[in-house]
Amino acid sequence: MALQNIPCSLLFINWLQGHLLPCPFKYLTGIDCPGCGFQRAVVALLKGNLHESFSLYPPAIPILLTALWWLADSIYKLDKPSAVIKKTLFMITGSIILVSYVIKIAGL
């Protein structure tokens, strides 16, 4: 087994997959939290599996896009002083998280 033939990105993804953080909310209550599945969805995205990522945690992609916008806006000041785009993205992403969580809890 030669590690030099395995790409670094694959080694990182495998390491990341083995070191996911446990959810304290689920540990204490036995109920999934609104963020349960995010880490596994990000790992699936890193592997290039969009469908698996969406099935694991649908809000993962909107959360990541919102985080990218926030980062770009904080560096390049893309949004107006009233921050309309940022507020709208946060509201849409929060709504997607809420709807996804309600669907998960309802068992649909």
Q: What does the chain come to in residues? A: 108
Q: Establish if 92 belongs to a structural domain.
A: yes
Residue 3's pLDDT band, with cuts at 50, 70 and 90, is low
pLDDT at 83: 85
| DSSP string covering 54-95 | HHH-TTHHHHHHHHHHHHHHHHH--S-TT-HHHHHHHHHHHH
Q: Establish if 27 belongs to a structural domain.
A: yes
CA distance 13 to 46: 7
Q: Establish if 90 belongs to a structural domain.
A: yes
Q: Establish if 99 belongs to a structural domain.
A: yes
CA distance 50 to 57: 11
Structural domain of residue 68, as residue ranges? 7-106
What's the CA dihedral at 88, 90, 93, 97 to 10 degrees?
Answer: -130
pLDDT at residue 72 greater than cutoff 60 = yes
Residue 8's pLDDT band, with cuts at 50, 70 and 90, is confident
Which candidate, 50, 42, 1, places its Cα nearest to that of 20? 42
Q: Establish if 2 belongs to a structural domain.
A: no
Tokens 């904080």 — which residue? Answer: 74
Number of domains in the chain: 1
Q: Establish if 73 belongs to a structural domain.
A: yes
Render pLDDT for 22-55 as a digit per residue (tens, 0 to 9): 999 999 999 999 999 999 999 999 999 999 999 9
Q: Establish if 1 belongs to a structural domain.
A: no
Q: Establish if 79 belongs to a structural domain.
A: yes
For 74-94, what is the mean pLDDT? 90
Give the count of beta carbons closer than 10 Å to the beta carbon of residue 93. 19
